[in-house]
Chains A and B, each alone.
Chain A
Amino acid sequence: MNIFRLAGDMTHLASVLVLLLKIHTIKSCAGISLKTQELFAIVFLTRYLDLFTNFISIYNTIMKLIFLGSSFSIVWYIRRHRVVRRSYDKDQDTFRHFFLMWPCLILAIFINEKFTLKEVMWTFSIYLEAIAILPQLVMLQRTRNIDNLTGQYIFLLGAYRAFYILNWIYRYFTEEHYVHWITWVAGVIQTLLYGDFFYYYFQSWKNNVKLELPA
């Protein structure tokens, strides 16, 4: 494992921890899109179908379990927790997210590396992850006022994607036969979606003012 991959995994892990911290200690999910969280839970569920059949390393297995467990517990918190669910801005989170799944599924059926159930589900998870952040970005745009933890959460998620691209570039030059168009194209699209957010995040950081997106 190279340093970019590790940095990517660690920023991904940190993003989840920041979100859990916000939900668990402040008992608030204000500004967080349940739609995006549900999509992430589906992404991990369909990607890690090989959790118990394809062993790679202890590290991989533990990380997979953390991402599965955290994504489902976040959804549970927002939907079911007595206090947390009251802070959920339902009216701002109106994205028809399940409609995003159909094009991803159809695309995965036609464009994949191998036509098996596991492989199609894995490819579906790659496509779905690329656009799963959209409901959250739409919600940010609407609420505009973004608290620190929500801002950091999205920043860390974007950083995770950026590090993964550096990881792919590194692996491309250091490993033989390392060409994965599906993952790369989906990954680059996913990272570009954060571009706008990054711009305003750095502006607010540079000028030391509260993060606010333009209407």
Chain B
Amino acid sequence: DDAETLKDEL
């Protein structure tokens, strides 16, 4: 979901 997308950044 949208809230999870930035978790691919450090």
Residue positions of A touching B, CB distance < 8 A: 5, 9, 12, 50, 54, 56-57, 60, 63-64, 67, 113-114, 119, 122, 164, 167, 175, 177-180, 183
Contacts and interface: CB of A to CB of B under 8 A. Distances in A.
Given A56-B7, A175-B5, 15 more contacts: A9-B10, A50-B7, A56-B8, A57-B8, A60-B10, A63-B10, A64-B10, A67-B10, A113-B3, A119-B3, A122-B7, A177-B5, A178-B5, A179-B2, A180-B5
A126 to B, nearest CB: 9
Contacts of B6: 180, 183
Contact of B10 (A12, A119, A179, A180): A12
> Which of B3, B7, B8, B10 has the largest count of A CB atoms less than 10 A from its CB?
B10
Nearest to B3: A113
A155 to B, nearest CB: 19
A5 B9 contact: yes
Q: Chain B interface residue count: which class?
A: under 10
A63 B7 CA distance: 13
B3 A60 contact: no
Interface of B: 2-3, 5-10
26 contacts: A5-B9, A9-B10, A12-B10, A50-B7, A54-B7, A56-B7, A56-B8, A57-B8, A60-B8, A60-B10, A63-B10, A64-B10, A67-B10, A113-B3, A114-B3, A119-B3, A122-B7, A164-B9, A167-B9, A175-B5, A177-B2, A178-B5, A179-B2, A180-B5, A180-B6, A183-B6
A56 B8 CA distance: 6
Nearest to B9: A5
Contacts of B10: 9, 12, 60, 63-64, 67
A122 B6 CA distance: 11
